[in-house]
Amino acid sequence: MIAFSEKSQIILRDIGWFPERKVETFPWINNLQQAGYDVFDAARKILEHLGGLPLKEPSAYKGFISLSDNTRIHFATHPNFDFIADNTPESDSERAVYWKENSFIKANGLQICPIGSIRGITTLFVVSDGRIFIGQFYVPKSYHGDKEASLTFLGHTIVEAVDKLVERCVGYL
């Protein structure tokens, strides 16, 4: 289904992924819908392929790894993402409305759905055109009021997003 980079595949395989993976999405989709999210096609496809993959402590990251082009890399830290969509930070039923009402989402006529988290601290979202964003509630210092539901762009596709998260952890020796 998805052509992740060689580096991403090393990380993903370590948390239980394989290229043909396809899992039952019912529990996550049901919980997301009950929380108030619309689970659109792009979200459904990601959950089918990656849903349920957990955070995992580094294991295969000791020493350096030689890639197929003989490049030597070292994972200095683990990207620490998961794809447990119904247990992401600050995206429960009380918060769903803030994400759906985010001005960027509304103005572009998009839908938004959680797909996982990074380090259990920020939420990974997919929007209905397939783009991936990192979401977090943020209290601007210059404002006096509520937290803002802010979205930072991560990738045009899930592949680009995962590859980018993995690349941030790679050292070229």
Question: Are residues 126 and 116 in contact, defined by beta-carbon separation less than 8 angstroms?
Answer: no
* Residues binding another protein: number (CB under 8 A): 32
Question: Does the protein bind another protein through residue 167 (CB under 8 A)?
Answer: yes
CA–CA dist 85, 104 (Å, integer): 21
Write out the binding residues for another protein, residues 36-95 only, by CB under 8 A: 62-64, 69-72, 74, 76
Question: Does the protein bind another protein through residue 112 (CB under 8 A)?
Answer: no
- Which one of 55, 148, 157, 159 is in contact with another protein (CB under 8 A)? 148
Least Å from the CB of residue 131 to another protein: 11
Question: Does the protein bind another protein through residue 149 (CB under 8 A)?
Answer: yes
Question: Does the protein bind another protein through residue 144 (CB under 8 A)?
Answer: no
